[in-house]
Amino acid sequence: LVLTRKFEDLGLRVEQVQMEDLDMPNHLGGRQRHLLKLVFSTVSDLVECRTLLKPIVDENRKRVTLNNAYSSVSSDAAGDVEDFLETLVDLRDYDVPYVMRVNIDL
């Protein structure tokens, strides 16, 4: 996966997961969404990756908002890092402090 190659020095592991998206208007219907779960070996690696991805995601979100069409973001990236990173429009759990995230997951 492109993210694994881009952040290989951080010991990144990427998993595809299905989770209920509570931001969806019909989230009580049990519909699940495909998401990428990024797993790091240390908290400092997590923070470093988040620091690198946050501006990219913010810029992509602005672009999507300006286009006013979420589907305009291409889901078939050509394989190079820049194209794939342009498809990232959301980060989850980035605003939850690490200690709280550990307590939630336990």
pTM: 0.65
Instruction: Provide the residue type at 45 as one letter.
Output: D
pLDDT tens sequence for the chain (106 residues): 677 787 778 778 888 888 877 777 777 777 788 888 888 888 888 888 888 889 989 998 888 777 755 454 444 444 444 577 888 888 877 667 777 877 887 7
- What are the angstrom distances between the C-alpha of 11 and each of 4, 40, 71, 78, 98? 8, 6, 32, 24, 18
Burial class of residue 40 in the structure, from the number of CB atoms within 10 Å of its CB (0-12 exposed, 13-18 middle, 19+ buried): middle
Residue 55 has what pLDDT?
Answer: 92
